[in-house]
Amino acid sequence: MNQLILIFVLLLLSLAAYQMGRRRAYGLVDGQLRKLHSLPVYYGLYAAMWCLLPALLVLIAWTAFDGAIISHLVVGQLPESLHGADAGSINLLLNDIRNVRMGLVPPESADPVVVAAAQHWDHLQRIGYAALAVVVLILAVLGAIFTLTRIHPQQRARNAVERLVLVMMMAAASVAVLTTVGIVLSVLFESILFFRLVPVTEFLFGTSWSPQMAMRADQVGSSGAFGAVPIFVGTALISAIAMVVAVPIGLLSAIYLSEYAAPAFRSVAKPLLEVLAGIPTVVYGVFAVLVVAPAIRSWGMSLGLDVASESALAAGLVMGVMIIPFVSSLSDDVINAVPQSLRDGAYALGATPSETTRKVVLPAALPGIVGSIMLAISRAIGETMIVVMAAGLSANLSFNPLESVTTVTVQIVTLLTGDQEFDSPKTLAAFALGLLLFLVTLGLNVIALRVVNKYREQYE
């Protein structure tokens, strides 16, 4: 909260700097604006930027790292007996300290060491805040004074401001790149740690997956198995079911909407299909669990089939419904991009509309359609909530859609929710799966986007 107050004060200060800068520039030339290099606004902005930005950077840097610094200091201050303790017990201790500080545990019932550490923590934090406030305010005031005193009519304030704005815009654009780098690095590091414990070949080609590691070494069943093939098969099975639902329905509705439908029908049906795309995936998950899975189960029982309550069919079916609008809107774009002249040529030869569509338009649009199907597959592989809710947890190596299978995303969620220590093979396995998921979807996307773009240019 203190940071928010500081930011507010900083904003006020920079507003003041802006006003003073503007007034000063205006006053320097007695209101004869053509003697100024830039409009007075720019002098004000220049001052405000120097007032705000350095201080803000310091503030952000501190806020990002204060927790780590303070916890390091507190751990260093702990009594001798605790030095050299392993990371796990230090983490537990830090958690206790946090609980005391947050008031979740009354100080009377806690370990005195923890209470002392908690007080030490609060003390350090107060010092930190005070120091931060002083540094930030001094920086802001210095920045404002520095720029305000240097204002003169020939100063190229506009150029300076514009350069800074440009740099800021560039930084904003590179956030996307940073995100990608961040994703790659964060999952890569944890995956490398994981592959030190479990060989890559076992992970990629092993057929048994049971990541439940025992807490103690002597416990029964302490050796986890990390062969991910059953997970890959499960993911492939559910995605395949989803595509069997989504591709025909999505493609046929796109064809109907773009080649046959009257404009009035199109203007109603297309937004309705898009509603399907706007529904959150968790809602599809609930739908799968409450409606589709019981329906499939009772239908299977009436046929004398044994259907698991978390069957791959239910999850795949609902996922397919979710992907329909995705396939249909992408294919719609692709089909619309086919030039009318191709259709006219076919009609002139006496082809019926369906013959034109099947033998002329679809072959012409095929690369684009393939691209959009690849995008849809990548969507299906990465989809999380539907499978977390409707698919199973146990890794069965099975191609039977009526059985319960698990997927990559389900495993990531189950491995990472719940209280785990961060460097156990269990949580690291989740990052290895995440890396794989990222690479596969990225590969599919890159190829698909390239295909779609290449195809688009062909007719432009």
Q: In angstroms, what is the minimal distance from the CB of 431 to another protein?
A: 6
393 binds another protein (CB under 8 A): no
Query: CB–CB of 28/153 below 8 Å?
Result: yes
Task: Build a one-symbol-per-residue string for 315-354: x at contacts with another protein by CB under 8 A, - elsewhere.
Answer: ------x--xx--x---------------------x-xxx
The binder of another protein chosen from 77, 89, 149, 174 (CB under 8 A): 174
Closer CB to another protein, 264 or 275, in the complex: 275
* DSSP symbols for 105-136: S-GGGS-HHHHHHHHHHHHHHHHHHHHHHHHH
Minimal CA–CA distance to 238: which of 429, 394, 392, 64?
Answer: 392
What is the spatial distance between Cα 138 and Cα 460, in angstroms, rounded to a whole number? 58
Does 355 help bind another protein (rule: CB under 8 A)?
A: yes
Interface positions, 263-292, toward another protein (CB under 8 A): 269, 272-273, 275-276, 278-287, 289-291
Among 180, 201, 207, 267, binds another protein (CB under 8 A): 180
Report the phi/psi class of residue 214: left, alpha or beta, with left for phi > 0 and alpha for psi in -120 to 50: beta
Q: How near is the Cβ of 321 to another protein at its closest, in Å? A: 5
- Span of 121-129, 141-149, 233-241, 406-414 interacting with another protein by CB under 8 A: 406-414
Minimum CB separation from another protein for residue 107, in Å? 19
For residues 84 and 81, give the distance between their C-alpha atoms in angstroms, rounded to a whole number.
Answer: 8
CB of 280 to another protein, least distance (A): 3
CB of 404 to another protein, least distance (A): 16
Measured CA to CA, the distance from residue 215 to residue 242 in angstroms comes to 38
- C-alpha of 134 from chain center: 36
**Neighbouring C-alpha atoms within 13 Å toward the C-beta of 452:** 19
Hey, what are 322's tokens?
Answer: 């979710």
Site for another protein in 34-73 (CB under 8 A): 64-65, 67-68, 71
Q: Which of 134, 138, 175, 393 touches another protein (CB under 8 A)? A: 175
- Select 179 or 201, whichever has its Cβ closest to another protein: 179
Matching residue, tokens 């190829």: 447
Q: How many residues bind another protein (CB under 8 A)?
A: 92
Per 3-state DSSP, what percentage of the chain is helix, strand, and coil (rounded to 5)?
Answer: 80, 0, 20
- Coil, strand or helix at 226: strand
Q: In which residue are the tokens 């996922």 written?
A: 319
Q: At what angle do helices 312-337 and 293-302 cross, to 10 degrees?
A: 110
Among residue numbers 128 through 157, which ones bind another protein (CB under 8 A)? none
Cα(239)–Cα(232) distance, rounded to whole angstroms?
Answer: 10
Candidate list 257, 293, 313, 365; residue touching another protein; CB under 8 A: 257
Residues 81 to 110: which contact another protein by CB under 8 A? none
Q: Which is nearer to another protein, 31 or 248 (CB)?
A: 248
Q: Ramachandran region of residue 304, left (φ > 0), alpha (ψ -120 to 50) or beta?
A: left
Residue 31 in contact with another protein, rule: CB under 8 A: no
Among 172, 215, 220, 303, binds another protein (CB under 8 A): 172
Question: Is 375 near another protein (CB under 8 A)?
Answer: yes
| Binds another protein by CB under 8 A, chosen from 77, 446, 454, 458 | 446
